[in-house]
Amino acid sequence: MLKPTTIDDYIALAAPQAQEKLHELREIIARAAPQATECISYSIPAFRQNRVLVYFAGYKKHIGFYPTSSGIRVFAKQLAKYQSSKGAVQFPLDQPLPARLITAIVKHRLKEDRAEQELLAKPKTDWTAALSAPARRALSAAGIKTAKQLARHTEGDILALHGIGPTAMPRLRAALKGEGLAFRK
């Protein structure tokens, strides 16, 4: 079987009875997310902004719509009349597509996508970010959650913690210095 490389290719290869609904669903999604780009992901059509927003696929008796688990969870009440699972919903071919509901789900996914991008764009201010996982666990186990709490200890106290090695000390000194602090003498 041929592998589609565009949504047009996918629709042309889909079950003939599903093609009209696939075109319709594509238009609904494109109107709801005009900045999103079309792609093929996991061998099915998808729309992506920063990450994939939604996927869809055509079958002999239904259209599969895959708005990720959050799209299903948030709209569970409205989707109750359709066959669905954790991350998918089936729209029967013999019923009209719920355009308003699909639009709302796509817009929800756009909000999530924007929020994730904003979070990723924020500079990392975690003073433990440069430490190894064992070193972070050691500090946490000792109840040291902030640089201010770290500054209450001597370097010897910290080196005695299981999981803190000598390579962590320059990083911890730098983290304290960045906060205008230093180890207790």
Tens digit of pLDDT for each residue in 133-169? 888 888 988 889 898 999 999 999 999 998 898 889 9
User: What was the pLDDT predicted at 119?
Assistant: 65
As a whole number of angstroms, the distance between CA 93 and CA 64 comes to 10
Q: Is 71 left (phi over 0), alpha (psi -120 to 50) or beta?
A: alpha
Tens digit of pLDDT for each residue in 75-134? 999 999 999 999 999 999 999 999 999 999 999 999 999 988 886 676 556 778 888 888
User: What was the pLDDT predicted at 123?
Assistant: 56
Q: Which top CATH class is 7-121?
A: alpha beta
| Type of residue found at 1 | M
User: What was the pLDDT predicted at 21?
Assistant: 97
**Band of the pLDDT at 53, cuts 50, 70, 90?**
very high
User: What was the pLDDT predicted at 179?
Assistant: 85
Does residue 175 surpass a pLDDT of 60?
Answer: yes
Lookup result for tokens 């996982």: 133
Choice between 82 and 174, residue whose per-residue pLDDT is larger: 82
Residues 126, 156: contact at Cβ < 8 Å? Answer: no
Residues of the chain with CATH 3.90.1150.200: 7-121
**Band of the pLDDT at 61, cuts 50, 70, 90?**
very high
Residues 91, 82: contact at Cβ < 8 Å? Answer: yes
Does residue 50 surpass a pLDDT of 70?
Answer: yes
